[in-house]
Amino acid sequence: MRNYYIAGNWKMHMTRSEAAELARTLVAQLKDGEHKYLVAPSFTLIETVAPIVKGSNIGLGAQNMAAEPQGAHTGEVSVLQLKDLGVDTVILGHSERRHVYKEDDALVNAKVKLALQHGFEVILCVGELLEEREAGRAEAVCEGQVVKGLEGVSDLSRVVIAYEPVWAIGTGKTATPEDADAIHAYIRKVIEKTYGAGAAEKIVIQYGGSVKPENAAQLMAKENIDGALVGGAALKADSFVPIAKFGR
């Protein structure tokens, strides 16, 4: 039985005081929550949020990291620096990194391996563009991103996959629960091919893309949808808490 995992990707939003207030509210309102939770603030907010979520049932994530542990990489943030702040999870391969900042599968894969080597949990994001879906290539695109993103990774116990169709991110257009579930099931098959049925059964696959309090329960009801990676609706406790406590 997989545990539901609801994560908030705060993207490039909030100041320290706003982040502290949201984190405090979430800690208070989710303390009786039954699922696994995470918030991923901007790098500059992590030190503020860390002591607030410490000891709570909300994990602390980062939204990206460099592919090298240290060195001359102006503007990048390293796994060692994140570890130093108490971060234990990193979101990698987000579509905004892939499509806006041109991160390719090889770079994402290098980051995934480095994060795992340092004991982090990884949320590997995959998902197709609208034109890829319309061309009937959604499954192939996701398969390629999963396989290449995990190349050389033998143990999936600290890997979560987030299926985020790019056309559903920040657009208000959610994949139907049926469409999302079909891709999740396909991703599970892809995992089964390389890692076996046990790993495929265990791996948590989140859905991301315009998840809201109104659609969370229908999405989570699907057999292969094990949680959510939430963007816009994660910025307010009023919308994130009902998603995190869906069905109650």
Q: Is 230 in the site for ligand 13P (CB under 6 A)?
A: yes
To the nearest whole angstrom, how small is the minimum distance from the Cβ of residue 231 to ligand 13P? 2
- Say if CB 126 and CB 162 are below 8 A apart: yes
Q: Could you give the CA distance from residue 114 to residue 67 in angstroms, rounded to a whole number?
A: 7
CA neighbours within 13 Å on the CB side: how many for 238? 0
- Annotation says 164 is catalytic: yes
Neighbours of 171 (CB within 10 A): 13
Q: How near is the Cβ of 128 to ligand 13P at its closest, in Å?
A: 14
- Binding pattern to ligand 13P, positions 196-215, x when CB under 6 A? ------------xxxx----
In the structure encoding, which two tokens stand for residue 44, read together? 């500059």
The reply to whether 170 sits near ligand 13P by the rule CB under 6 A is yes
Active site residue 13: no
Under a CB-based contact definition with an 8 Å cutoff, are residues 9 and 230 in contact?
yes
Using the minimum distance from each CB to ligand 13P, give the nearer residue, 53 or 162: 162
Is 164 a binding residue for ligand 13P by CB under 6 A? The answer is yes
Find the catalytic residue in 68, 94, 99, 201.
Answer: 94
| Contacts of residue 228, Cβ cutoff 8 Å, sequence gap at least 6 | 6, 7, 206, 207, 208, 211, 216, 219, 220, 243
Q: Is 103 in the site for ligand 13P (CB under 6 A)?
A: no
Cβ-closest residue to ligand 13P?
A: 231
Q: Which residues bind ligand 13P (CB under 6 A)?
A: 9, 94, 164, 169-170, 208-211, 229-233
Return the active site residues: 94, 164
